[in-house]
Each structure stands twice: as structure tokens, then as C-alpha cells.
Copies of this chain bind each other. A is one copy, B any other.
Amino acid sequence: MAETKQHLTISEVEEQTGLSAHTLRYYERIGLMAPITKGLRGHRRYDKDDLGWITLIKRLRSTDMSIKEMQHFAELVRQGDATISERRKLLEKHQIELQQKLVDIEETLSLLDHKVTTYRNMEKDSKVKS
């Protein structure tokens, strides 16, 4: 089995996730992540769970959940199982926003398709004329 390393340095996480070390520290500082365990020389050591969490918040951010909402979500997770239903509602809210965004993008793609086709025809016509 191609076991992945047990612990990763911040630059390894940067490489794996595409989030910069700056951003990783920033997320931790503002409470988007629980404090990462430090090794002997005071360096962060990210474990499998940390990586999983980063993957999740990266997804939420890339789909435009606000930092503020993610902080709220992270706080709920920290509070444990009592907050499950609040967490569910928060994620369901994001689901709805994404479904709307999906529609907007699809409509825009269709508009772009139409425009690009029109442009192509104009390009073709201008060649014929000249």
C-alpha cells in the first residue's frame, strides 16, 4: 500500500492542497481550524484529520461560503454533537445557494454558447465578404 505520510509540514500541506502556508496559518488564526499540533521545534505537524478538514473548508470556500459562516460552522463542530442539527441547517443553506448558483451558471453558459456561435458566424461572414 502506498501509505501517505503520518504527518506533514506546512509546506507539504501547501503543495498537497494548493492553499499557501500564509493562508493555512491565517485560517488557523481566525479559528477556521483548531490549533495544529506543534512538533519539537515548534513547527506545525498536520495529520490525516487536519488534511480532511482542510479539504472540506477548501471546498466550502471555493464554492463561496463566507469566512464568517465557516467560522460559525467550525465553532459548531468544536462544540460537539449537540450542534449537529444546527450544522445540518447551515450546510442545507449552502446547498440551496449552490443550487441557485448552478442554475445561474447553466443559464449563462447557454447565453455564452449562443453569443459565441453568433460571433463565429460573423467571423465566417466577414471572410466570405472580403
Contact = CB atoms under 8 A, between A and B. Distances in A.
A26 to B, nearest CB: 22
A66 interface: no
Task: Tell me if A's interface is mostly helix, strand, loop or mixed.
Answer: helix
Interface residues of A, number: 34
A112 interface: yes
Given A87-B119, A102-B105, A95 B81 contact: no
Q: State the copy count for this chain.
A: 2
B116 A91 contact: yes
A56 B108 CA distance: 9
Contacts of A63: 104-105, 108
A44 interface: no
